[in-house]
Amino acid sequence: MTKLFGTDGVRGTANIHPMTAEMALRIGAAVGRYFRRDMDSAHRVVIGKDTRLSGYMFENALTAGLTSTGMNVLLLGPVPTPAVGLLTRSMRADLGVMISASHNPAHDNGIKFFGPDGYKLSDKVEQEIEALVEQGVDTTAPDEIGRAKRIDDSRYRYIERVKSSFPRQMRLDGLKVVIDCAHGAAYHVAPMALWELGATVIPVGVAPNGFNINDGCGSTQPKAAAEAVVAHGADVGICLDGDADRVILIDENGRIGDGDQFMALMAARWASEDRLNGKALVATVMSNLGLERFLNERGVSLERTAVGDRYVVERMRAGGFNLGGEQSGHIVMTDHATTGDGLMAGMQFLAEMVRSEKPASELLYQFDPVPQLLKNVRFSDGQTPLEDADVQAAIAQAEADLAQGGRLLIRKSGTEPLVRVMAEHEDAALMERVVDSVVDAVNVAVGS
């Protein structure tokens, strides 16, 4: 069996291996057996999903697999990924499951897992579960089959938790906010939470139909939200992705920021108030060199990890840090949540607008980024272009060319069959030439 778990659970095209109902049933049974090792006590699991049509299929298949091993299932319905992490812990569940392919298009889907502490599972645990999927597990006795129950108020529990992270003495009266929910999991909770805090809310992407998630909207395609900000004279735009664990912010002029700028703002603010644990920010290898320089000038270090918010969180927990994230918009604040939470991060930005009485355009641009270029090359199953001698030679030459004042990052995507080639350098022309040389070598290796 090919490797199931990527950088963020299991993901793929719905109804094509590994994202089939049969495989979801097997995964449910394996993870149920793993978390129900002591067969004498009752165990429970919470399952959330986004708005993809295939979510119904996977919800039912996972429920069948889990209950077949004696797990009691609590169905949350459409909720953000961070809500699953929160409710897994608050409902004393042994396991949390989120059915979502995050920012991917509607025909994809995925399965993410959270442990009883509300944090995503480690690589080691995922490998053990994958071994159980491959070998198969014994089902439980007929009188020990689990039950399934739908939890009707899950979204309201999450709204209250998100609001509790907002400073109690503050309100959003007078602020006009565009909120783009990507026709995804936050289509109900995000506008409601902002409205309850007093904001004038302009919703975008809040009419899911099973097929339109992330389609021309959301954090990966924020143009519609930026246009809405300008058209309505809004103060700020908040763009979430399909499962609402990442955010992209837009200023009042329609200019789009990124996660690095937001992390710079929060890290500098928290450091000045002595709230930044370890005087460090945790981010991935994709974060801009400009962020690192900005932080160092303020006595804050940047801890880099592999790409994936799970690795950011693991480093934060190991080092006792409380702020981290990704350039793509995953923002993790462990004082408030166990995983990236786009809505919560957006609210922290709104709180900073209220506190400072500054416009979004001033807060969202903390440093001048070093020019950065990212290009992707698609390859076919079974191909290993990064092992090709000519590709390795091109990479070595590129690293030498960028050695002074820049950097090169080559990696395989954890969610798609892509080689990602990224470079940074003050000399944009040199940077582009270097990236193209590596991309050309990879294209030759894969036969493009």
pLDDT given at position 271: 98
Whether the pLDDT of residue 140 is over 60: the answer is: yes
pLDDT given at position 169: 92
Q: Is 136 exposed, middle or buried (0-12, 13-18, 19+ CB in 10 A)?
A: exposed
Top-confidence residue, 204 or 406:
204
Work out the mean pLDDT of the chain and round it to a whole number.
Answer: 95
Whether the pLDDT of residue 39 is over 60: the answer is: no
Pairwise CA distance, residues 249 & 155, whole Å: 23
Walk across the sheet containing 280-284 and list its strands. 301-305, 280-284, 323-325, 331-333
The mean pLDDT value for 116-126 works out to 93
Active site residue 328: no
The mean pLDDT value for 5-32 works out to 94
**Taking the CB of residue 92, how many other CB atoms lie within 10 A of it?**
8
The 3-class SS string of the chain reads: CCCCCECCEEEEECCECCECHHHHHHHHHHHHHHHCCCCCCCEEEEEEECCCCHHHHHHHHHHHHHHHCCEEEEEEEECCHHHHHHHHHHCCCCEEEEECCCCCCCCEEEEEEECCCCCECCHHHHHHHHHHHHHCCCCCCHHHCCCEEECCCHHHHHHHHHHHCCCCCCCCCCCEEEEECCCCCCCCHHHHHHHHCCCEEEEECCCCCCCCCCCCCCCCCCHHHHHHHHHHCCCEEEEECCCCCCEEEECCCCCECCHHHHHHHHHHHHHHCCCCHHHEEEEECCCCHHHHHHHHHCCCEEEEECCCHHHHHHHHHHHCCCEEECCCCCEEECCCCCCCCHHHHHHHHHHHHHHHCCCHHHHCCCCCCCCEEEEEEECCCCCCHHHCHHHHHHHHHHHHHCCCCCEEEEEECCCCCEEEEEEECCCHHHHHHHHHHHHHHHHHHHCC
**R_g of the chain computed on alpha carbons:** 22
pLDDT given at position 97: 98
Q: Is 197 exposed, middle or buried (0-12, 13-18, 19+ CB in 10 A)?
A: buried
Pairwise CA distance, residues 175 & 355, whole Å: 13
Domains and their CATH numbers in the chain: 10-152 (3.40.120.10), 157-242 (3.40.120.10), 259-363 (3.40.120.10), 372-446 (3.30.310.50)
Pairwise CA distance, residues 255 & 352, whole Å: 18
pLDDT given at position 405: 84
Q: Of residues 54, 68, 100, 102, which has the active-site annotation?
A: 102
Whether the pLDDT of residue 417 is over 90: the answer is: no
Whether the pLDDT of residue 344 is over 80: the answer is: yes
CB 64 within 8 A of CB 28: yes
pLDDT given at position 36: 82
Whether the pLDDT of residue 1 is over 90: the answer is: no
Report phi then psi at 279, rounded to 5: 45, 45
Binning pLDDT at 50, 70 and 90, where does residue 8 land?
A: confident
Which residue in 392, 387, 373, 382 sits closest to 436, CA to CA? 373
Pairwise CA distance, residues 182 & 243, whole Å: 9
> What does the pLDDT look like over 74-99, one tens digit per residue?
999 999 999 999 999 999 999 999 99
- Sign of dihedral through CA atoms 162, 165, 171, 173? negative
Binning pLDDT at 50, 70 and 90, where does residue 413 land?
A: confident
Binning pLDDT at 50, 70 and 90, where does residue 3 land?
A: confident
pLDDT given at position 69: 94
120, two tokens: 């995503």
Estimate to the nearest angstrom the gap between the alpha carbon of 414 and the chain centroid: 13
> What does the pLDDT look like over 106-120, one tens digit per residue?
999 999 999 999 999
Whether the pLDDT of residue 220 is over 90: the answer is: yes
The mean pLDDT value for 65-73 works out to 96
Whether the pLDDT of residue 156 is over 60: the answer is: yes
